[in-house]
Structure 1
C-alpha cells in the first residue's frame, strides 16, 4: 500500500477497521461515501455492525443516522440494517434488507432529491456530522486525496464532519487519478455565485479532495471490489422502449428542436437505460455528450467507441465486465470522463442551462402524466426518488420510461390515478412504454389522457382505462381533470386484495 498512502502523516494513522469503528458511537450522525454500489467503505461498516451486535447483546442501545450519496451495497446498508443499527437513513437506498425494515417501520427513511442533500447539510438542517467514513483511491505526497469510483457527497462529509475515517482501497484503479473535478463554493445564500460551467466537459475545480490531517482519526487499508451486479441483456420490452425513444429523437432533430448530436443526456440506471445506450451505439447519432449521475456499461461503450465524446457524472455503476472494459481503456477515458460531486452533477441550474435530455424510469404513471417513481401501491418504499427530480423539472426534455405491465402482466404501469406522486404532470414531457410513446408537451389534461391511452397502455388494460376515462368525462365533478374519486385507486385496491389489477374478464383471458 506504500504507493497508495504516500503522505507520512496519514500513514501514521493507519488502523484496523475494528479500531476505526470505535470512533462511532450510539446516536451519532455519520456521513458515508457511496453512490449506486460504487465507492462505498468496504471494511468499517462491517466492523461497526459487530460492535452494534455486541452492544445489543449487552442490553445497550446502539443506532446511528446514516447519510450517503445514494445507494451503497450489502457490506454497508445490509450489514447495518441486519443488526438494527440504523435509526435514520438518507437519501436513497436499494438494499433488500434495508428496504424491508423501512417498510416494516423499523427505522426512519428520508427520501430527498440527491442534488439537495449536501446543501441541506451545509445549511445545518441535519445538525452536525459527527463522523465521515469515506473511501478513496490514494493519498498523495502532498496530502491530497484521490477520490475513488464515486464522488457523491464526499466533499461535504469531509468538510462538515468533526472526525474523519478514510478507507484507502487499492482495488480502485490508479487510472482514476485525474478523472475527478471537485468544485469549491463555500458561500451560503444570499452570497452564492453561479457555478461557472457552460459545457459538460468544463473542468472548474480540482482533481482531488482535501481534509485537514488533524481531523483524520483513522486510515484503514482495504482491497475490495465495488459491488455492482451484472446487467441483464435487454429484453424485448426494453428494446421496444429504446426504439420508440430513438424514433422520437430523430423526429425532434428533423423538426430542428434539438441538434443532430442531440443534447447532453442524463440517464438513470437499469436495463432500459442500457438498451437505449445500445440503440444509440447502433444509430446514426455521433458526437454525443452526457451530463448525468452515473456511467454504466452502455454509456461506457459509447465512450470507448467514440460515439460519445465525453461524459460528466458523479459515479460509475459498472458491472464486473464493465470494470474490465474500463481498465482496458482507462488512459484514453481519463480525458473523456469527469466525476463531480453530486451537488454539481445534479444541480438544477446546470441541468436547465445545458438543456439536458433526462431519461428516467418510473413505477407507474396516470392518465394525466403524473409519475410515481418510489412507492409500491402507494405505501411501500421501493428505492427512492434519486436524482430523477433534479433533472425532470429542469430538463429540456423530461422522459419517463417503463414496460406497460409488471408482475407478468398483472399490474398496469398506466393507471387512473397514481398511488403516490413524485413528478407532477407539469414536469413530465414524454412517457414511453413498450407499446409506444406519448408526447405530452403543450397538451391539456384531457389531451394528455388521450395520448397516453392511444400510445402507452397495454391492450389487456386499455379497454378498462378507456371506460374509466369516458365515465369520468361524463360524471366527474370537474371537467378539467376528470376523475371518479371512489374508483380512482380501485385498481391498486384490487391488486392488494386479489394479486392482480385485471378485471374478471381480462383476468380470465390472461389465465
Structure 2
C-alpha cells in the first residue's frame, strides 16, 4: 500500500478495522462515505457491527446515528441494521434489511433532499458529527486525499467531524486521481456567494479532499470492490418510455425551446434511465452534456461513444462490466467526467442556472400531476426522495417516468390521488409511462387530468379514472380541482383489502 499511502504521518496511524472501529461508541453521530453503492467504507462497518453485537451480549446499549451521502451497501447499512446498531439513518437508503426495520418502526429514518443535508449539518441542525468514516483511493505526499468512486457529503463530514477514520482502498482505480472537483467555500448565511459554475464542465475547486492530520485517528487499508448490481438490459416497457421521451425532446428542438444538443441532463438510476441513455445513443443527438448525481452504465457508454461530451456527477454506479469499460477507456474519460460533492451536484441554483432536463422515476402520480416517489400505499418507505426534489423544482423540464402498472397489472401507477406527495403538481412538467407522454405545462388541473388519462393510463384503468373524473366534476365541493373525498384513496384501500386496484367496471372491461 506504500503507493497509496504516501504521507509518513498518515501511514503511522495505520491499524486494523477492528481497532479503528473501537473509536466509535454508543450514542455517537457518524458521517460515513458512500453514494449509490459506490465509495462506502468496506471494513469499518463490519468490525463495528461485531463490537455492537458484543456490547449487546453484555447487556450494554450500543446504537449510533448514521449519516451518509445516499444509499450504501449491505456491508454497511445491512450489517449495522441487522445487529440493531442504528438509532437514526439519514438521508437515503436501499438496503432490504434496513428498509424492513424502518417500516417496522424499529429505527428512525429521516428522508431529506440530498442537496440539503450537508448545509443542514453545517448549520448545526444535526448537532455535532463525532466521527467521520471516509473511503479514499489514496493519500498523497502532501496529505491531501484522492477521493474514490463517490464524493457525496465527504467534504462536510471531514470538515465537521471531531475525529476521522480513513479507509484507503487499493481496489479503487488510479484513474480516479484528478477526476474530482471539490469546491471549498465554508461561508454561512448571510455571507454565502454564488458557486461560480456556468457550464457542467467548468472546474471551480480542487481535485482533492483535505483533512487536518490531527483529526485523523486511524487509517485502515482495504482492497474491496464497490457493491453494484449487474447491468440489466432495458425491457420493452422501459424502451417504450424512452421512445416517448426522445420523441418529445425532438419536438421541443423543432419548436426552438431547447438546442439541438439538448440541455444538461439529470437522470436517476435504474432500468428506465439506462433505456433512455441507450435510446439517445441510437438517436441523432450529439454534443450532449450531463449535470447529474450518478453516472451509470448507459451514460458511460454515451461518453465512450462520443455522443456525450461531458458528464458531471457526484458518484459512479457502474456494474462490473461498466467498471471494466471505465478502466479500458480511463485516459479518455478523465477529461470528460467530473465528480463533485453532492452539495454542488444537486445545488438548486445551479440546476436552474444550467437549465437541466430532470428525468426521475416515481412510484405513482395522480390525475393532477402530483407525484409520490417514496412510499408504498402511503405508509411504507421504499428508498427515499433522493435528489429528485433538488432537480424537479428547479429544472428547465421536470420529467417523471414509470410503467403504467405494477404487480402484473394489479396496481395502476396513475391514481385519483397519490397516497403520499413528494413532488406537487407545480414541480412536474411531464409524466411518461409506456402508454404515452403527458405534457402538463400551461395546463389547468382539469386539463391535466384529461391529458394524463388519455396519454399515460393503462387501458385496464382508463375507464375507471375517466368515470371518477366525470363524477367528481359533477358533484365535487369545488370545480377547480375536482375530487370525491370518500373515494380519492379508495384504489389503495381496495388493493390492501383485495390485492388489486381493479374495480368491477375495470374487471369487466378487461374481460
Class of the TM-score when normalised by the shorter of the 2 chains? over 0.9
Deviations 1:305-350 (A, max 9, x none): 0100000000000001100000000111001000000000000000
Is residue 2:94 matched to residue 1:94? yes
Query: What residue in structure 1 maps to residue 487 of structure 2?
Result: 487
Match of 1:32 in 2: 32
Residue in 2 that maps onto 1:139: 139
CA distance, structure 2, for counterparts of residue 99 and residue 459 of structure 1: 33
* Cα separation, 2, equivalents of 1:394 and 1:149: 27
The answer on 1:388 being equivalent to 2:388 is yes
What residue in structure 1 maps to residue 56 of structure 2? 56
CA, structure 1 residues 163+455, in 2 after alignment: closer, same or farther (shift >3 Å)?
Answer: same
Q: For the residues of structure 1 that align with 2:120 and 2:31, how far apart are their CA atoms?
A: 13
Matched with 1:370 is: 370
Match of residue 231 from structure 1: 231
Q: What is residue 153 of structure 2 aligned with on the other side?
A: 153
Q: Does 1:163 align with 2:163?
A: yes
Name 1:212's counterpart in structure 2. 212
Q: Show the counterpart of 1:410.
A: 410
In structure 1, C-alpha distance between the alignment counterparts of 2:352 and 2:508, rounded to whole Å: 48
The Cα of 1:506 is off from its aligned counterpart by 3.3
Tell me, yes or no, if the aligned pair for 2:464 and 2:505 is still in contact at 8 Å.
no
Deviating beyond 3 angstroms after TM superposition, the runs of 4 or more aligned structure 1 residues are 504-511
The offset of 1:301, in angstroms, is 0.1
**Alignment partners' CA distance in 2, 1:147 and 1:78:** 24
CA distance in 2: counterparts of 1:369 and 1:398, whole angstroms: 11
Q: Secondary structure at the match of 1:460?
A: helix
In structure 2, the residue matched to 1:265 is: 265
Deviation of 1:508 after TM superposition, in Å, equals 6.4
Q: Which residue of structure 2 lines up, in the alignment, with residue 448 of structure 1?
A: 448
**C-alpha separation in 2, matches of 1:212 and 1:184:** 15
Secondary structure in 2 aligned to 1:134? Answer: strand
**Structure 1, residues 5-50: CA drift from partner, whole Å, max 9, x if none?**
0000000000000000000000000000000000000000000000
CA distance, structure 2, for counterparts of residue 84 and residue 506 of structure 1: 45
Distance across 2 between alignment mates of 1:57 and 1:257: 64
Measure how far apart 1:232 and its partner are: 1.4
Q: Does 1:182 align with 2:188?
A: no
Match in the other structure for 1:287 = 287
**What SS is found at the alignment partner of 1:389?**
helix
Alignment of structure 1 residues 114-129 onto 2, 5 Å: 114-129=114-129
Q: Distance in 2 between matches of 1:402 and 1:237?
A: 9
Structure 1 unmatched runs, 5+: none
Task: Specify the alignment match of 2:337 in structure 1.
Answer: 337
The answer on 1:303 being equivalent to 2:303 is yes
Gaps of at least 5 residues in structure 2 are: none
Q: Deviation digits for residues 197-256 of structure 1, max 9, x if unmatched?
A: 000000000000000111000000000000000121111110000000000000000000
Q: How far did residue 173 of structure 1 move?
A: 0.2
- Indicate conservation of the 8 Å contact 2:293/2:387, yes or no: yes
Equivalent residue number for residue 434 of structure 2: 434
Q: CA deviation at 1:124?
A: 0.1
Q: Displacement of 1:510 after TM fit?
A: 5.7
Matched, 1:8 2:8: yes
Q: CA deviation at 1:407?
A: 0.4
The CA deviation string for residues 277-313 of structure 1, in whole angstroms up to 9 with x for no partner, is 0000000000000000000000000000010000000
Cα-to-partner distance string for 1:412-466 (whole Å, 9 max, x where unaligned)? 0000000000000000000000000000000000000001011000000001000
Are 2:464 and 2:506, in contact at CA under 8 Å, matched by a contact in 1? no
User: Could you say what secondary structure the match of 1:120 adopts?
Assistant: helix
Counterpart for residue 194 of structure 1 = 194
In 2, distance between residues paired with 1:373 and 1:386? 9
Q: Report the equivalent of 2:476.
A: 476
Question: Hey, what's the Cα distance between the residues in 2 that align with 1:443 and 1:185?
Answer: 41
SS of structure 1 residue aligned to 2:459: coil
- The whole-number CA distance in structure 1 between the counterparts of 2:236 and 2:505 is 26
Q: Equivalent residue for 2:461?
A: 461
Structure 2 CA distance for partners of 1:473 and 1:119, relative to 1, 3 Å: same
In the alignment of these two chains, the number of paired residues is: 511
Tell me how far apart the structure 2 counterparts of residues 379 and 223 of structure 1 sit (CA, whole Å).
Answer: 40
Q: Which residue of 2 aligns with 1:274?
A: 274
Residue 509 of structure 1 and its aligned partner are, at CA, apart by: 6.6
CA shift, 1:505, in A, is 4.8
Query: C-alpha distance in 2, partners of 1:9/1:499?
Result: 61
Alpha-carbon distance between aligned partners in 1 of 2:500 and 2:331, rounded to the nearest angstrom: 51
In structure 2, the residue corresponding to 1:31 is in which secondary structure? Answer: strand
CA–CA distance in 1 between the matches of 2:499 and 2:106? 26
Deviations 1:358-402 (A, max 9, x none): 000000000000000000000000000000000000000000000
State the partner residue of 1:314.
Answer: 314
Q: 1:504 Cα deviation (Å)?
A: 3.2
Quote the offset at 1:507 in angstroms: 3.9
Which position in structure 2 is the counterpart of 1:351?
351
